[in-house]
């Protein structure tokens, strides 16, 4: 055999290696322990701050819940906390209107921007457009609030008018119905070996979607020809700020967030999938719609949930352009002035050390904050479970 140059004394020295000799210098071990302790302290402080925030929120919320007359929190004419009327549907419906309209603006534009930047734009174009999109995210919300109040409301919302919004509503319903029918057509074309439970779920979802479309058609038709003043005024635009103007402003504010997260999700899809689709003769649009988007659906859903949370938690835009001061009557029309949960909290406590009004006026702010916190928490839990369920690992 060839002599490799290892003699007996060297073998003896190798056998003397122990855990202590592999641990390295004690100074290095102390430094690692200090760094680990610092990061643990930082994480603990973050958790402690979160617990203190939730604790302070729940303390005043419990005071409100235990002392309020619950008959004044549902079915009243509106949100008048200084007079002891805490109608929560007024705030919940307004918040829902703003969130839905904002996502109708931010969803298509944000996702479309992400698809273009990820799939179609050249490197030079991407380097030019993406910073501009990120700059839009840095615009202060108070600036967009004034923009919505002085431009979007009078120049866009009010100029379109009642008949224009009726036409737009009808077009939205038609597009929605076409999408539902297209989805149903795809379900029919799928393989026949699908499990019975899956087929039942698909039929139930399809039935619900079609029923929703029919209800919307009936509702718009009823509003268009109704002699009831309240129904007839649903699409009548009121001046001096509306929920629709505030919602468009919130949507503009949310576009960069949806676009950035969606673009990251699309960029994480391996290029091998695109190349395989192109190798099979698929067009760019087909590859994007049927390969890339399904592969990135978990990230896209996460982007939309983050956008919904952002829209629901926005304060300054709806505070300035929502068309209500520190109180609001109940409305289900986006063209009326209204007040969201965040705007109610901001407007009621503005300029005072303690909120003036009924005994529970101050505590009502914490109750509204708790409701908003629970809604956001539920959205994140549902989104997390959905994302984990549909996530594809490569």
- Specify the CATH number for the domain of residue 348: 1.10.3720.10
Q: pLDDT tens for residues 222-231?
A: 665 555 555 5
Q: Are 360 and 295 found together in one domain?
A: yes
Q: Is residue 265 part of a domain?
A: yes
Q: Are 365 and 353 found together in one domain?
A: yes
Q: Are 144 and 13 found together in one domain?
A: no
Q: pLDDT tens for residues 243-277?
A: 888 888 898 888 888 888 888 888 888 888 888 88
| The two three-digit tokens of residue 324, written as one number | 């209500």
Q: Which of 67, 91, 123 is the last residue of a domain?
A: 67
Q: Are 145 and 291 found together in one domain?
A: yes
Q: pLDDT tens for residues 204-216?
A: 777 777 777 777 7
Q: pLDDT tens for residues 52-104?
A: 888 888 888 888 888 877 777 787 787 888 777 888 888 888 888 888 888 88
> CA 255, 260, 264: angle at the middle one, nearest 5?
150
CA 277 to chain centre: 32
Instruction: Quote the CA–CA distance of 254 and 308 in Å, as a whole number.
Output: 9
The predicted structure's pLDDT at residue 1: 45
Instruction: Quote the CA–CA distance of 327 and 338 in Å, as a whole number.
Output: 9
Q: pLDDT tens for residues 283-324?
A: 888 888 888 888 888 888 888 888 888 888 888 888 888 777
What DSSP line would sit under 333-382, residue for residue? Answer: -TTS----HHHHHHHHHTT-SS--SSTTHHHHHHHHHHHHHHHHHHHHHH
271-297 burial, b at 16+ Cβ within 10 Å, e below that, comes to eebbeebeeeebeeeebbeebbbebbb
What three-state secondary structure class fits 74?
coil
With the CA atoms of 238, 244, 248 and 253 taken in that order, what torsion angle do they form, in degrees rounded to the nearest 10? Answer: 110
The predicted structure's pLDDT at residue 379: 83
Q: Is residue 192 part of a domain?
A: no
Q: Is residue 364 part of a domain?
A: yes
Q: Are 151 and 143 in contact (CB under 8 A)?
A: no
Q: Is residue 200 part of a domain?
A: no
**Mean pLDDT of the chain, nearest integer:** 77
The predicted structure's pLDDT at residue 6: 47
Q: Is residue 189 part of a domain?
A: no
| C-alpha closest to that of 304 among 380, 366, 204 | 380
| The two three-digit tokens of residue 385, written as one number | 């479970």
Q: Is residue 213 part of a domain?
A: no
pLDDT of 25 higher than 80: no
Q: Are 246 and 325 found together in one domain?
A: yes
If you ran DSSP here, which 8-state letter would residue 76 be given?
Answer: S
pLDDT of 22 higher than 70: no
Domain that holds residue 114: 71-161+239-390
Q: pLDDT tens for residues 102-115?
A: 888 888 888 888 88
pTM: 0.75
Q: Are 270 and 147 found together in one domain?
A: yes
Question: How many domains are contained in the chain?
Answer: 2
Q: Are 154 and 35 found together in one domain?
A: no
How many CA atoms within 13 Å lie on the side-chain side of 386? 16
The predicted structure's pLDDT at residue 158: 75
**Inter-CA distances, 302 with 136, 339, 343, 386, Å:** 21, 27, 25, 9
The larger pLDDT score, comparing residue 189 to residue 366, is at 366
Q: Are 37 and 136 found together in one domain?
A: no
Q: pLDDT tens for residues 315-372?
A: 888 888 877 777 777 877 787 778 888 888 877 766 555 555 567 777 888 888 888 8
Q: Are 62 and 105 found together in one domain?
A: no
Question: How much is the average pLDDT of 117-131?
Answer: 82
Q: Are 149 and 21 found together in one domain?
A: no
Q: How many CB atoms lie within 10 A of CB 11?
A: 9
With the CA atoms of 65, 69, 71 and 77 taken in that order, what torsion angle do they form, in degrees rounded to the nearest 10? Answer: -90
pLDDT of 5 higher than 60: no
Q: Are 162 and 237 in contact (CB under 8 A)?
A: yes
The predicted structure's pLDDT at residue 195: 67
Q: Give the chain's radius of gyration (CA, Å).
A: 28
The predicted structure's pLDDT at residue 170: 77
Q: How confident is the model at residue 221 (pLDDT cuts 50, 70, 90)?
A: low
Q: Which of 15, 50, 67 is the last residue of a domain?
A: 67
Q: How many CB atoms lie within 10 A of CB 194?
A: 11
Q: pLDDT tens for residues 140-159?
A: 888 888 888 888 877 777 77
Helices (H), the chain: 8-15, 19-22, 26-67, 88-115, 123-137, 141-147, 158-189, 196-225, 229-232, 243-267, 271-279, 284-287, 293-295, 297-313, 316-321, 341-349, 361-390
Q: Is residue 220 part of a domain?
A: no
What three-state secondary structure class fits 329?
strand
Instruction: Quote the CA–CA distance of 200 and 253 in Å, as a whole number.
Output: 40
Q: Which of 19, 41, 67 is the last residue of a domain?
A: 67
Q: Are 203 and 183 in contact (CB under 8 A)?
A: no
Q: Is residue 254 part of a domain?
A: yes
Q: Are 127 and 248 found together in one domain?
A: yes
Q: Which backbone phi and psi does 79 adopt, to 5 degrees? A: -95, 105
| C-alpha closest to that of 300 among 348, 356, 271, 258 | 258
- Nearby residues of 209 by Cβ (< 8 Å), 6 or more positions away: 180, 183
Q: Are 79 and 51 found together in one domain?
A: no
């Amino acid at each position: 055999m060839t002599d490799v140059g290892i003699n007996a004394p060297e073998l003896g020295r190798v056998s003397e290696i122990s855990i202590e000799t592999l641990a390295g210098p004690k100074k290095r071990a102390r430094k690692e322990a200090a760094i680990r302790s610092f990061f643990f302290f930082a994480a603990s402080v973050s958790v402690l701050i979160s617990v203190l925030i939730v604790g302070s929120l729940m303390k005043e919320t419990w005071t409100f819940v235990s002392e309020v007359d619950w008959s004044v929190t549902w079915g009243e004419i509106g949100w008048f906390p200084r007079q002891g009327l805490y109608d929560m549907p007024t705030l919940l419906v307004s918040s829902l209107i703003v969130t839905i309209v904002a996502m109708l603006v931010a969803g298509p534009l944000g996702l479309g921007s992400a698809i273009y930047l990820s799939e179609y734009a050249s490197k030079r174009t991407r380097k030019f457009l993406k910073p501009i999109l990120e700059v839009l995210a840095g615009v202060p919300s108070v600036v967009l609030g004034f923009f919505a109040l002085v431009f979007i409301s009078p120049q866009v919302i009010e100029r379109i008018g009642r008949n224009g919004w009726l036409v737009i509503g009808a077009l939205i319903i038609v597009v929605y119905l076409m999408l539902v029918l297209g989805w149903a057509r795809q379900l029919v074309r799928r393989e026949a070996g699908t499990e019975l439970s899956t087929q039942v779920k698909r039929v139930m979802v399809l039935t619900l979607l079609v029923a929703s479309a029919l209800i919307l058609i009936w509702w718009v038709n009823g509003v268009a020809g109704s002699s009831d003043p309240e129904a007839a005024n649903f699409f009548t635009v009121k001046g001096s700020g509306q929920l629709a103007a505030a919602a468009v402003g919130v949507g503009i504010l949310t576009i960069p967030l949806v676009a950035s997260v969606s673009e990251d999700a699309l960029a994480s899809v391996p290029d091998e999938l695109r190349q395989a689709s192109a190798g099979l003769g698929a067009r760019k649009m087909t590859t994007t719609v049927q390969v890339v988007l399904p592969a990135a659906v978990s990230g896209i859903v996460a982007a939309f949930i983050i956008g919904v949370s952002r829209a629901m938690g926005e304060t300054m835009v709806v505070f300035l352009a929502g068309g209500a001061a520190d109180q609001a009557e109940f409305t289900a029309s986006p063209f009326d002035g209204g007040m969201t949960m965040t705007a109610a909290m901001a407007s009621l406590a503005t300029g005072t050390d303690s909120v003036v009004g009924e005994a529970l006026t101050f505590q009502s702010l914490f109750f509204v904050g708790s409701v908003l916190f629970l809604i956001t928490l539920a959205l994140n839990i549902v989104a997390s479970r959905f994302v984990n369920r549909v996530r594809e690992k490569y």
